């Protein structure tokens, strides 16, 4: 078995897979051995670009997969530390430390919160009544 390295594979199915791989050439017919392969996809949204990561095969507990070279369009070794970190973090952790908003934000005065609806209504009614009272009085 050959040396292990991080590699991105483009498969004939169109999938792009990143994995720690080795190539076994002992029997004369080479086979690619992929350890915990993941699919990575760039997602572009309103808040920026993200990398969507998920297991290559969702419904299995296996970590080692054998891929025939005729199922691979191209493969390239990656030395990008960001991609390798994403891969190793995903493999080593069940849950990544990704920002997930809880959906509720406590409003503060820094966000423009001044009063409750009832307090604001009372204040506006008081201003309106004062304005009407001053208009009814003649100017002397």
Residue 120 pLDDT > 90: no
pTM of the predicted model, to two decimals?
0.60
Q: Is residue 125 included in any domain, yes or no?
A: no
Contact 31, 91 (CB under 8 A): no
Residue 28 pLDDT > 90: no
94, two tokens? 């069940």
Q: Where are the beta strands (DSSP E) in the chain?
A: 5-11, 16-24, 31-45, 48-55, 64-67, 72-77
What distances in angstroms separate CA 70 from CA 24, 34, 131, 132, one per listed residue?
14, 15, 84, 85
Residue 114 pLDDT > 90: no
Q: Is residue 47 included in any domain, yes or no?
A: yes
Q: Is residue 80 included in any domain, yes or no?
A: yes
Q: Is residue 30 included in any domain, yes or no?
A: yes
Structural domain count of the chain: 1
User: What integer pLDDT is reported at residue 45 of this predicted model?
Assistant: 80
Q: Is residue 19 included in any domain, yes or no?
A: yes
Q: Is residue 135 included in any domain, yes or no?
A: no
Q: CATH code at 75? A: 2.30.30.100
The DSSP bridge partners found for residue 55 are 38
Q: Enumerate the H helices of 77-138 as residue ranges.
A: 81-92, 117-136
User: What integer pLDDT is reported at residue 1 of this predicted model?
Assistant: 67
Residue 75 pLDDT > 70: yes
Residue-number span of the structural domain to which 55 is assigned: 5-92
130, two tokens? 């004062």
Q: Is residue 25 included in any domain, yes or no?
A: yes
54, two tokens? 């998920």
83, two tokens? 């991609």
Average pLDDT, the chain: 82
Residue 137 pLDDT > 70: no
């Amino acid at each position: 078995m050959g040396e292990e390295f991080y590699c991105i594979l483009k498969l004939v199915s169109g999938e792009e897979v990143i994995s720690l791989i080795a190539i076994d050439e002992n029997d004369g017919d080479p086979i690619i051995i992929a350890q915990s392969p993941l699919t990575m996809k760039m997602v572009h949204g309103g808040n920026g670009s993200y990398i969507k990561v998920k297991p290559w095969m969702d419904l299995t507990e296996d970590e080692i997969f054998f891929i025939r070279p005729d199922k691979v369009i191209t493969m390239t070794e990656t030395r990008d530390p960001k991609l390798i970190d994403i891969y190793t973090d995903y493999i080593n952790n069940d849950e990544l430390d990704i920002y997930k908003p809880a959906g509720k934000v406590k409003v503060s005065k820094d966000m423009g919160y001044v009063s409750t609806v009832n307090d604001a209504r009372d204040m506006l009614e008081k201003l309106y009544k004062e304005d009407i009272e001053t208009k009814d009085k003649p100017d002397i």
